[in-house]
Amino acid sequence: MLRGTHGNRGRWALAAAGAPLVLAALLTGCTAEPADPGVSSAPATAGGSSSAAATSAPVTEQLDPAGSAADNKAFFDQVNQALIAANPAAGGQDFTSNLRSNGFDIAAMQVTPDVTTVGVAADSIQFSVHWGDDCLIGQYGQGQYESMVAPALGTGACLVGQTRAIDW
C-alpha cells in the first residue's frame, strides 16, 4: 500500500508542477491577436496617445463609402487616435464632430454622455457609426482607446443604454 500511495503522490506532484504551464498556455491564448479581423484594440500610453497610430502623423487611411464597416475600421481608428493625440481630454462632442469632419455621417452616430446621472465625469465614453448592417464602435476613457466592428442591434442602434442627442 505504501508503494501505491507514493505513486499517487508522484502523479499529483507532476500534475501540480504542470498546472502553471497549462495556465500560462491558456493565458497566452487570451492575449493573442483576435481571430476576427474586424475586432481589435489599440491600447494607449499613459499620456493618452496610442503607441501605434495616434502620433502627429497625418491620416493616411481613407474613408471607403462603398466598403464595409470592417473595410473602414482602420480609418475610423486612425481618425480617433489622431484626435486623442491632439486632445487627450476629448469628449463625445469632440469624437462625433471629428468623425463627421472626416466624412462619417453624423446622423448614423450615437454617443454616450460625458457625465454620469449624478454629475460625475464618466470613466469612459462610447461612440458609434452605424454602417450598413454593422457598427463601428469606439470607446475612450482613462487614456485608453479601443474599437470594434459589431452587428447592429435588432433595434437598428449600435449602443445599448442611454445615449445623448447629437445636436451640434
**Which residues, other chains included, contact 156 with Cβ-Cβ below 8 Å and sequence gap of 6+?**
130
Asked if residue 136 lies in contact with residue 164, where contact means CB atoms within 8 angstroms, the answer is: no
pLDDT score of 8: 47
Full-model pTM: 0.66
Residue-by-residue pLDDT tens, the chain, 168 positions? 444 445 544 444 444 444 443 333 333 333 333 333 333 333 333 333 333 333 445 557 899 999 999 999 999 999 999 999 999 999 999 999 999 999 999 999 999 999 998 999 999 999 999 999 999 999 999 999 999 999 999 999 999 998 999 999
d(CA 12, CA 7): 9
pLDDT score of 59: 57
How many C-beta atoms surround the C-beta of residue 148 within 10 A?
A: 19
pLDDT score of 7: 52
Task: Calculate ∠ Cα 32-46-74, nearest 5°.
Answer: 50
pLDDT score of 60: 74
pLDDT score of 58: 59
pLDDT score of 134: 98
The three grid cell numbers given for residue 103, joined into one nine-digit string = 466624412
Q: How many angstroms separate the first and last alpha carbons of the chain?
A: 81
